[in-house]
Structure 1
Amino acid sequence: MRLILRDDTFPIAGRFTIARGSKTEARVLYVALEDSEHTGQGEAVPYARYGESLEGCLAELEAVRSRIEAGITLDAVQTLLPSGAARNALDCALWDLNAKRSGVPAWRTAGLHALNPLKTAYTLSLDTPEAMAQQAAANARRPLLKLKIGGPGDLDRVEAVRAAAPKSRLIVDGNEGLSFDDLTRIAPDLHKLGVLLIEQPLKVDEDEALLGYACPVTLCADESLHSRAELARCARLYRCVNIKLDKTGGLTEALALKAEALALGLEIMVGCMVATSLSMAPAMLVAQGADYVDLDGPLLLARDREHGLEVTGSILHPPTPALWG
């Protein structure tokens, strides 16, 4: 088996802004596993918020190259690297390679009865209320809009978006940008505006303040939850969890995390970083039956990978084998 590692860059359509900053391109980690007949692909986005970088992830994988190229199983991948972007790309590449070798689709191996199209949220970047209203008006036909918030004027932003897209369902994402006082002040108004979900309003080391708080809008853990290791804690504070393969370290752990979260009675959101269809394809397996799907990464790009997902409006169609799985 041969390991191929690459740093790929894809331009974003415009600028993508959250509470922590802005970017105009998506830099992704590409991993391929080749044998004499087949190639399995995986992609991940290292995230500086978690102490990751492309250079660091490439070094992580280079350090275990000989073990990978000697032949490795999905079970072995889970202990070879910690949860995070490097393991995600490797894990997903091996899922893809196994599917191509066996002729059995990845979704069937995952225990699914089918891989159905999914309706994804569409993200509006953090901006002024006026600019976010323009974004919303341009996407008012979409059934679910996700707003980035996390600063002065948040309520004005949501009100402007609601007026510009009166028929769309709304969720908001604080990206750790709110204080507990901010949250308790605006949550009742967000509820009145029809907001269904608030993602990670508080910083990870401040979210214990949520214990016992009866928020009128469902709260969802994102940065606070990476893998099953944090699940019990998050279940005390949140009613929903956002599962991202870049956090879990791949499809294998994501599927296990989803099963345990459902057993605890939690709602499920499946999210993504700004990335190509190659990142979204394995996440579509986890997103089957999820309460909220936010796999809009390719919709935010000016250019996707070859053989990218077919997208009809906000509907993501299952990947072809040429892409993944």
Structure 2
Amino acid sequence: MHRSLSARHDRFLLTKPFRISRGVKTEADVVTVSLRAGEHEGKGEGVPYARYGESVESALEAIEGVRAAIEAGAGREELLALLPAGAARNAVDCALWDLEARQAGKSVAELIGAPEPEALASALTIVIDTPMMMGAAARRVAGAPLIKVKVDGHLPDAQIRAVRSAAPDAKLIVDPNESWDARLVEAMQPLLAELKVDLLEQPVSAEIDECLERFKPLVPIAADESIHTTAELDVVARRYQVVNIKLDKAGGLTEALKLARATRERGLGLMTGCMVSSSLSIAAALHVARMSDFADLDGPIWLAKDRPGGVEDRNGVLYPPVKGFWGTP
């Protein structure tokens, strides 16, 4: 059956600025793919990320480059060879999963052979601000099970202390987004242990993370920017204790599931993350989050208006989209 593929740029305004070490975001720019075959339509979303040399324009161009192959019937495994890992491949891959599920009259979970996604703890993010403002933000979500603290190299100790004081019972992830150096990572270890931080995410740049190879942290360190696909896992396993999988890095659910299984086989911890996105990105990521020790899927919570029927956050517990939103017939 002939397929018809379309791709477009969608923009979602945020309710407030999302501030991390490398900049501030006030809107989410995504690429939405629609794949039609007869009466069925599959959808997918990718979030191009400048850190990885991506833009909305480059993603749309990449998708246009595989249009003929996808419309002629190329599947998810063929797509792995047609496009490199990234937001463009993610959007097409997830549209293929969604279309396949609808054509088969089955859910994506059934196609995977896994349980349906259920409500799970997902980190609520405290963005970079003064320690006082970060403490105030943490106080508002203190009852959440998991909080992520964005920091940089300026006053991270005071910022983390402020959040921990305001939310004494929550699990904490500290995320410098590559802004620390090796000396600061080492210097911060006693404080991270004292404040019972559960995870330190990508403290140093992926380009210099060899310094972690001989380092014995007091708090587990997760690879984010340092790992995209299974191709980097050998090196990452020598430097990190946890792998953060994002579908936009892996280039879709197909590769993300492979990476999740390989990560578990190596005895490493597993985290599922996201970009600032709509629920269309998160619906697919829930199938990896189900396998994970940590989930950080609060992207849609930052949107002024999400796609109808998407995920719902209730004080740090994330509930799946309504039936039929994505991956269910």
TM-score, with length taken from structure 1: 0.98
Equivalent residues in 2 for 1:92-131, closer than 5 Å: 92-131=94-133
Aligned: 1:68 with 2:32? no
Q: C-alpha offsets along residues 203-230 of structure 1, whole Å, 9 cap, x if unaligned? A: 1111100112111010000000000010
Give the C-alpha shift of residue 75 in structure 1.
1.1
Give the C-alpha shift of residue 84 in structure 1.
0.5
Give the C-alpha shift of residue 280 in structure 1.
0.3
Contact 2:144 2:317 in 1 (8 A): no
TM-score, with length taken from structure 2: 0.97
Give the C-alpha shift of residue 321 in structure 1.
3.9
Give the C-alpha shift of residue 161 in structure 1.
0.7
Task: Give the SS at the match of 1:269.
Answer: strand
Q: C-alpha offsets along residues 172-192 of structure 1, whole Å, 9 cap, x if unaligned? A: 011100000011001211110
The size of the alignment, in residue pairs, is 325
Q: What is the root-mean-square deviation in Å for CA atoms of aligned residues?
A: 1.0
Give the C-alpha shift of residue 150 in structure 1.
1.3
Give the C-alpha shift of residue 301 in structure 1.
1.4
Equivalent residues in 2 for 1:1-325, closer than 5 Å: 1-325=3-327
**Greater mean alpha carbon deviation, residues 82-91 or residues 124-133:** 124-133
Contact 2:171 2:197 in 1 (8 A): yes
Give the C-alpha shift of residue 61 in structure 1.
0.8
Task: Give the SS at the match of 2:198.
Answer: strand
Q: Where in structure 1 are there 5+ consecutive unaligned residues?
A: none
Task: Give the SS at the match of 1:72.
Answer: coil
Give the C-alpha shift of residue 131 in structure 1.
1.3
In the alignment, residue 209 of structure 2 is paired with which amino acid?
A: D
Q: Distance in 1 between matches of 2:223 and 2:66?
A: 32
Q: Distance in 1 between matches of 2:313 and 2:126?
A: 18
Q: Distance in 2 between matches of 1:310 and 1:122?
A: 13
Q: Distance in 2 between matches of 1:210 and 1:65?
A: 41
Identity %: 47
**Greater mean alpha carbon deviation, residues 312-321 or residues 90-99:** 312-321
Give the C-alpha shift of residue 86 in structure 1.
0.2
Q: C-alpha offsets along residues 241-293 of structure 1, whole Å, 9 cap, x if unaligned? A: 00000000000000000000100000000000000110000000011131101
Q: Distance in 2 between matches of 1:191 and 1:32?
A: 46
Q: Distance in 1 between matches of 2:102 and 2:318?
A: 22
Q: Distance in 1 between matches of 2:137 and 2:80?
A: 40
Contact 2:124 2:298 in 1 (8 A): yes
In the alignment, residue 165 of structure 1 is paired with which amino acid?
A: A
